[in-house]
Amino acid sequence: MAMEDAKNEVDTAFTRKGLRGYAFENAFGGATSFLRRSYTKDLTGVDLAVTGVPFDQAVTHRTGTRFGPRAIREASTLQPYDPPQGWGTDPLDEISVIDYGDLAFDYAKTADFPDRLTDHIRTILAAGAGTVTLGGDHFITWPILKAYAEKFGPMSVIHFDAHSDLWQDDDLTRIDHGTMMYKAVKTGVVDPTRSVQIGIRTFCEDYLGMNVLEARTCHEIGVAAIVEKVKAIVGDNPVYLTFDIDALDPAYAPGTGTPVWGGLHSWQAAAILRDLAGINIVGGDVVEVSPPYDTTGATAIAGAHVAYELICLYHWAKTRR
């Protein structure tokens, strides 16, 4: 059946009948929505909306993550044929997932961007759907979390990163990817005592009560212990999972703005995400994929896999809990 479909399917981002099911068009052709999901702004009956935020005007070093959503979508064309390995479920058959397209914003009015993004996510949440966002730099998580906290209250956050993003900055008008978690904690959007940062390997003056599993700790205690600690921390709270691709070692994800050695291996990240099944996840993002710094495409491939795992975690929370 799949081979027969491959001969006839094309541009399923536009031609798909219904919102569920896998796609079999050639990976090298067609419109590159994420996982070949329908491109639509209609949120009727949608469980989960994938959306892109091509913004990189908050970076402290290398730009380029504005091209991340496009690259992640292209990389995802290798994945929509089969159920995800190791999950034992069929998320694309069992929940309705769409590609909601990208956020539109005026690049020359950076100060307007945060509220525009919050409203973008607020619209999706108001329709009863969750979001998986493709970044963009890590500043975008702060406006997204504001929308989530409006609906769910102070969030538990599982934060994969090389950096804590807790640089002290009480000026809420500053747009800086290194301060997004500081702002989220200080304004009560995130509950630090029920949140955890994974893969940290840069200096932080004050973690503001956040639970931290540094990269070295992750290497030493192993996946099972990490997952046990994370689940104990977040409990049954609504969880937002944000994955900065620089949580991975530069050997696995060189295409990012601020790479740091000693990071997670791709197999570790995959195993941790898989074993987090059962958390009460309500949304997530993958950020800081910067294609200009990776001619191989490996970083975008990693980003696409992370985004698919977020879909799997969301599906598990919606259908198996």
Which tens digits make up the pLDDT trace of 230-256?
999 999 999 999 999 999 999 999 999
CA 46, CA 187: separation in Å to the nearest integer?
Answer: 31
Task: List, for residues 258-283, the tens digit of each pLDDT value.
Answer: 999 999 999 999 999 999 999 999 99
| Mean pLDDT across 158-172 | 93
Reading across the β-sheet that carries 48-53, which strands appear in turn? 97-102, 48-53, 130-135, 281-287, 239-244, 156-160, 196-200, 211-214
Residue 42 above 90 pLDDT? yes
pTM to 2 decimals? 0.96
Could you read off the pLDDT of 96-153 as tens digits, one per residue? 999 999 999 999 999 999 999 999 999 999 999 999 999 999 999 999 999 999 999 9
- How far apart CA 230 and CA 49 sit, in angstroms, is 26
Domain that holds residue 291: 2-319
pLDDT-based confidence at 93, cuts 50/70/90? very high
Quick one: what percent of the chain has pLDDT higher than 70?
98
What percent of the chain has a predicted confidence (pLDDT) above 90?
84
Distances (CA, A) of 50 to 135, 234, 307: 11, 24, 9
Q: Measure the CA angle with vertex 284, ends 224 and 303; round to 5°.
A: 80
Q: How many Å apart are CA 166 and CA 181, to the nearest integer?
A: 5
Instruction: For 290-302, write each residue's pLDDT tens digit.
Output: 999 999 999 999 9
Strand 196-200 relative to strand 130-135, pairing: unpaired
Q: Quick one: which of 33, 38, 64, 68 has its CA closest to 53? A: 68
Cα–Cα distance measured from residue 271 to residue 225, given in angstroms and rounded to the nearest whole number = 12
The domain that holds 170 is classified in CATH as 3.40.800.10
56 has a pLDDT exceeding 90: yes
Helix boundaries (H) for 16-165: 68-75, 91-94, 113-126, 141-152
For the residues of 226-288, what is the DSSP string, one character each?
HHHHHHHHHTTS-EEEEEEGGGB-TTT---SSS--SS-B-HHHHHHHHHHTTTS-EEEEEEE-
3-state secondary structure of 74: helix
Contact 313, 279 (CB under 8 A): yes
Q: Are 15 and 37 in contact (CB under 8 A)?
A: no
- How many whole angstroms separate alpha carbon 131 and alpha carbon 48? 6
The residue behind tokens 């070692």 is: 249
Task: Look at residue 9 in the predicted model and tell me its pLDDT.
Answer: 86
pLDDT at residue 1 tops 60: no
Confidence of residue 178 (pLDDT cuts 50, 70, 90): confident
Domains identified in the chain, total number: 1
